[in-house]
Amino acid sequence: MVETPRFRRNHHHRSDSKWSIPVFLSSQKTLWTLLWIVGFVSLFIWQRNVIDGLLLFRKLPPKPIPKLRPFVFNLTDFGGIGDGKTMNTKAFEKAVASIAKFGKKGGGQLNIQAGNWLTAPFNLTSHMTLFLAEDAVILGADDENLWTLMPPLPSYGAGREHPGPRYGSLIHGQNLTDIIITGYNGTIDGQGNAWWKKFRQKLLKHTRGPLVQIMRSSNIQISNITLQNSPFWTLHPYDCKNITITGVTILAPIFGAPNTDGINPDSCENMVIEDCYISVGDDGIAIKSGWNQYGIAYGRPSKDIFIRNVSIRSMVSAGVSIGSEMSGGVSNVTVENLLVWSSRRGVRIKTSPGRGGYVRRITYRNVTFDNVRVGIVIKTDYSEHPDEGYNPKALPILQDISFTGIYGQGVRVPVRINGSEEIPVRNVTFQDMSVGITYKKKHIFQCAFVQGRVIGSIFPSPCENLDRYDEQARLIKHSINQNITNIDYDFR
């Protein structure tokens, strides 16, 4: 793009050749005039180049970083070097240790300036702000030998991919309070490519680590940054309270980046995810709460979660998921103003016998599917168990799920709710739905073992499993067929 103007010079050369040079040179006056002109033009061009050069290489002074804590440091104060090659692990550790001393005095802020700051995993501390300037990139070391091994999460009983210990996260925190990660849209980059490759080649002995994982902590704010190329799940708050995630961009390749979920609220309560853009290689957001007998024993639900104004692309999985690990229960989740585009599935609830727990009081409002294969999915036979020690009679409860304002276009299957005799889906509500479909097929709104209602008219027309109400919520027709099955998996 930048180069086009340079080629113009050739045109001038060509037009010059049209002039009759000998006639001009015949008079000395003309020669002098010509020399003057040449001189002036050269001077002019030279000056312009100098100014252009200055403009081109002009370094805008970096935007001043706001002071958000009483004590402020730069990573360079601790010997950090942002050349993309030098390891900054020690600098981060020293910085965090210093900030830890100011906890009682309002805490400390660590500024990461423009540059590429390579590091192995490091831990955060309470009352800390990590501020990533514009063009600041924290790069995760991709040598797994540098990554801390940690015991499996208690509510999972095993690493998600291998039994036994798991890799920790690049940026990690445990038992903390008052943590802020923010900036002028600086980046934390997990350099996941090496991890994805090793995972595919089965060269890893332990479960890959998330990019950012904060455990058993409270009062967490993550805003105005970009998280990309996580080895595994990207942002994993585990057993945390009071978390706000806003203005965060999360990126990973949409194919070939296995398990790069965007945000995984896991046994968390009182959480807001707002104004985010997520395009990743697995679920955009997946709300969880532990796995089978381990999750049931840990017993911490994910609840009171608000997701608003989020745009997601997920070619492999779904925009917003609940489960499949939901054994501690999931309740009171609202998903509002969600756009899922060019994706495999829009929103999905996934579970299985053995999980136990519940998913209830889930509200989807103003959700748009643009070019999505399957819009709304509830799947009750997901399997995937950590070990054989689960109780197959531990059946999850799915109920009180409402969909209001579901729009879209280019959708193949708008709804596929596959409850079962063991795990029926109860009290589902549909209201104000209009989804443009790519195929005209009869049973496109697919249901099995679903009890619930449709208020007003919706498009495409609903399955017979649901009761029909008019716009004023007056019963028109009771379904006598809640349990019939018209799930058609051949039609993907």
Ligand X SMILES: *[C@@H]1O[C@H](CO)[C@@H](O)[C@H](O)[C@H]1NC(C)=O
Q: Which positions lie near ligand X, rule CB under 6 A?
A: 72-74, 77, 121-123, 148, 150, 172, 174-175, 182, 185, 216, 219, 221, 223-224, 226, 242, 244, 246-247, 249, 275-277, 304-306, 309, 311, 332, 334, 337, 339, 366, 368, 380-381, 400, 402, 418, 420-421, 424, 427, 429, 448-449, 482-483, 487, 489
267: left (phi over 0), alpha (psi -120 to 50) or beta: left
Give the distance from CA 51 to its chain's centroid.
Answer: 42
Identity of residue 331:
S
- CB 167 → ligand X: shortest distance, Å? 11
Give the distance from CA 235 to its chain's centroid.
Answer: 8
- CB 343 → ligand X: shortest distance, Å? 13
Q: Which among 142, 189, 282, 467 is annotated as catalytic?
A: 282
The two structure tokens encoding residue 356: 């136990």
Q: Which is nearer to ligand X, 34 or 426 (CB)?
A: 426
Q: Which is nearer to ligand X, 150 or 458 (CB)?
A: 150
Q: Which is nearer to ligand X, 78 or 233 (CB)?
A: 78
- Decide: residue 491, CB within 10 A, 0-12 exposed, 13-18 middle, 19+ buried: middle
- CB 69 → ligand X: shortest distance, Å? 11
Identity of residue 414:
P
- CB 76 → ligand X: shortest distance, Å? 7
3-class secondary structure, 98? helix
The residues, ordered by sequence, that sit 6+ positions from 232 with a Cβ below 8 Å of its Cβ are 160, 192, 195, 207, 208, 209, 210, 211, 259, 260
- CB 197 → ligand X: shortest distance, Å? 23
- CB 325 → ligand X: shortest distance, Å? 18
Q: Which is nearer to ligand X, 314 or 418 (CB)?
A: 418
Strand 330-350 relative to strand 302-314, pairing: parallel
Angle, CA of 477, 456 and 366, to the nearest 5° = 135
Instruction: Tell me the C-alpha distance between 430 and 437, whole Å.
Output: 17
- CB 68 → ligand X: shortest distance, Å? 9
Nearest to 152, CA basis, from 138, 172, 167, 131: 167
- CB 410 → ligand X: shortest distance, Å? 15
Identity of residue 374:
V
Q: Which is nearer to ligand X, 342 or 483 (CB)?
A: 483
**DSSP notation for 163-211:** SS-EE--SEEEES-EEEEEEESS-EEE--THHHHHHHHTT--SSBPPPS
Cβ pair 115, 136 in contact under 8 A: yes
Instruction: Tell me the C-alpha distance between 211 and 91, whole Å.
Output: 19
Cβ pair 465, 483 in contact under 8 A: yes
Q: Would you call 52 a catalytic residue per the annotation?
A: no
E-strand spans in 70-162? 71-74, 83-87, 108-112, 115-119, 122-123, 128-132, 136-140, 149-150
Phi–psi pair at 168, nearest 5 degrees: -70, -160
Minimal CB distance to ligand X: which residue?
420
Q: Which is nearer to ligand X, 77 or 161 (CB)?
A: 77
The residues, ordered by sequence, that sit 6+ positions from 491 with a Cβ below 8 Å of its Cβ are 412, 413, 439, 441
- CB 247 → ligand X: shortest distance, Å? 5
The two structure tokens encoding residue 412: 């193949």
- CB 331 → ligand X: shortest distance, Å? 8
Q: Which is nearer to ligand X, 22 or 64 (CB)?
A: 64
Cβ pair 462, 435 in contact under 8 A: no
The DSSP bridge partners found for residue 454 are 430, 468
What are the catalytic residues? 282
